Each structure stands twice: as C-alpha cells, then as structure tokens.
Amino acid sequence: MTAQRRVRERGQPRELRQRLQRRWMIRLCFFPWRLTGRFTMIYSLVAMNIFGSNVYIVEYYSVAVESIYFRRIQKTGRSTYIISLPKEWVEKEGLKKFDRVKIIPYASGLLIAGESGGGLGETVVHVSGNENPDEVVRIFFSKYLDGYDRIRVKFSSYSPLLAGILKDRVRRWLVGVEVIGESTTEILAQVLPISDTLPLASSIERMSTITTYMLSDAMTSVTELDRTLADDVIRRDDEVDRFYHFVTRQLTLAARDYTMLKSLQLSDP
C-alpha cells in the first residue's frame, strides 16, 4: 500500500465526521416558528461565530405580511406626535381604552406591541382515547414550541399507559416542564421560566458539545464494535433534542415579543 493511499484512507473518518457535523449544524441553525397560528417567518440568528470556528448561526428571512397600514402623523401641543392604531389590530389584541402598548424602537423601524406579550398562557389538549400515544405527544410538543406556559391534557377516557408515555417523553425531551397536577381526567403541566438561568447561547453551545462527542463516540463504537458505547450515543441524542426544543421555543417567544431579544442576549436583526 502506498503512502499516499494510506493517508487518503486515514482521512476518510475525519471527512465523514465533518460531513456529519455539517448535517447536525443545519439542524442547529434553522429554527422555524409560527406567528399568529401560521408559518410566517423562518429566522435564525445574525451570522455570528459563537463557539470558535465550528458552529455558525446564519440569517435567513421569509416573511409574509398580512396587512400594511399607513397613518399620518399628527402633532398635539408643542412636542407630542400621535398616530391612530388600526381597529382590526386593537380588537385582535383585545385592547381597550386606556390600555397601554409597548413602543419599541429598533435599527430599521418601530415596533408596537400589546403590553402582555411573551407566553400564551394556558391551552387545553383534548384526548378522546382514539389517538395513539405518538399523536398526543406531538400535539403536546407543538403547544410547548408555540410558547404556551401551561398545558392541560384532558382525557375523555383515562389511559394509564398513554399518561405514562406522555410524562416520560416530556421528561426526556423538554426543558423546564413540570407536571404540577394529575388525576384520572387530566394532566396539568407548567413550563417554568428558566431563560435567565439557561441562556440561549449556552444551550446551543451545549448542543454543539454533546453532538461533537456523539460523532466521535459513534465512530469509535463502529470501529471497536462497542454496543454499550453505541447505546450511550443514542441516549445522548435525547439530550440534544431537549435543548433543540428549548431553543426553538425561546425563538418563538422572541418572534412574538421583540423585547425578549435583550433577555436572550440577541442583537437587533
């Protein structure tokens, strides 16, 4: 075997690892989220290198605007400028006379939002008993990713098996979710506000670290036929999923409430 061939063969695992890393980085970099119940924006952070030369988060926009309103600026007194708000938007936000709104200046314009913002409060998932466990889990996860703070699962016919599977999946794949109430008719889960103690960048960095070691250990388990190590790689994939779901939820909330960008340590796009 020539020296050139030996070098080429030794390089193959590294090249494979790099291809796998790029595949995982695509998963880490693009987080779709929903605005007003439909996919209107796909956005991942401003192109910046967070963790050295390996992980980049890039910027991509695809925005669908339902309505554009034009208003003339009026002046009252000597220094106050006012504009009127669209009636449709006010009614949609549930605002009324004397309610306050947030006016948020940013680099390319001005954002007006309802004062509440943030999470969506409580939602209810109705389970008739005909659904399979995976379907119920997907619905629950969609509510978590949409930004609901409390998720109530109501059973028309209680199934201990389904309830057990749901609680196990929530514990394995979601960050900050605690079951605070359970009976034969419902399960109540609360999403804890942990964004301050678990910053967005730290979550993505943790995903990158876990994934890097997973790729290395996966290659080792194949070359050494180590079944135990291979099983451990699969287990760590659940940990990556937990952080992925958490990051997606945080970006969803940031899309809904622009003021969260600062708490997530993100800059104005």
Q: Average pLDDT, stretch 78-88?
A: 86
Please check the confidence at residue 146 and state whether its pLDDT lies above 80: yes
| Least confident stretch, 116-120, 149-153, 232-236 | 116-120
Question: Exposed, middle or buried, 241 (CB in 10 Å: 0-12/13-18/19+)?
Answer: middle
Which three-class secondary structure state does DSSP give residue 221?
A: helix
Q: Give 129: exposed, middle or buried? Use CB within 10 Å, 0-12, 13-18, 19+.
A: exposed
What percentage of the chain has pLDDT greater than the value 90? 26
The reply to whether 162 falls in a domain is: no
The answer to whether 147 and 256 are in contact (CB under 8 A) is: yes
* Full-model pTM: 0.61
In a domain, 130, yes or no: no
Whether 78 and 54 map to the same domain: the answer is: no
Q: Which of 80, 81, 100 is nearest to 90 (CA)?
A: 100
Phi and psi (nearest 5°) for 49?
-95, 110
Q: What is the C-alpha separation between 149 and 19, in angstroms, rounded?
A: 38
Q: How many domains does the chain have?
A: 2
Instruction: Name residue 65's amino acid.
Output: V
Structural contact between residues 95 and 114, judged by C-beta atoms closer than 8 angstroms: yes
Task: Return the minimum-mean-pLDDT range out of 30-44, 113-127, 210-224, 238-252.
Answer: 30-44
Residue 123 lies in a domain: no
Strand blocks (E) in 129-174: 150-155
* Number of H-type helices and E-type strands within the chain: 7, 12
Both 27 and 83 in one domain: the answer is no
Q: Which residues contact 154 (CB under 8 A, 6 or more apart)?
A: 124, 125, 126, 127, 185, 186
> Do 29 and 80 lie in a common domain?
no
pLDDT value, residue 223: 93
- pLDDT band, residue 268 (cuts 50/70/90): low
One-letter identity of residue 74: Q
> Is 26 a domain residue?
yes
Residues 109 and 81 in one domain: yes
102 and 45: one domain? no
Do the Cβ atoms of 160 and 130 come closer than 8 Å? no
Instruction: Return the structure tokens found at 29.
Output: 């970099």
Closest by alpha carbon to 95, among 79, 109, 84, 107?
A: 84
Give the residue-averaged pLDDT of 150-178: 90
Q: Is residue 208 part of a domain?
A: yes
**Same domain flag for 91 and 49:** no
Kindly report the average pLDDT of the chain as a whole number. 74
Least confident range from 25-29, 74-78, 131-135, 251-255: namely 25-29
Same domain, 203 and 254: yes
Tell me: do 50 and 81 sit in the same domain: no
Residue 172 placed within a domain: no
Is there a contact between 171 and 178 (Cβ–Cβ < 8 Å)? no
Q: Is the model's pLDDT at 110 over the cut of 80?
A: no
Cα end-to-end span (Å), the chain: 54
Q: Tell me: do 33 and 89 sit in the same domain.
A: no
Check whether residue 206 and residue 240 sit in a common domain. Answer: yes
What is the pLDDT at residue 269? 55
Confirm whether 37 is domain-assigned: yes
If asked whether residues 33 and 78 sit together in one domain, one would say no
Is 225 a member of any domain? yes
Residue (of 178, 165, 169) closest to 141 by Cα position: 169
Q: Identify the domain containing residue 9 by its residue range.
A: 3-61+195-263
Q: Report how far residue 45's alpha carbon sits from residue 59's, in angstroms, rounded to the nearest whole number.
A: 5
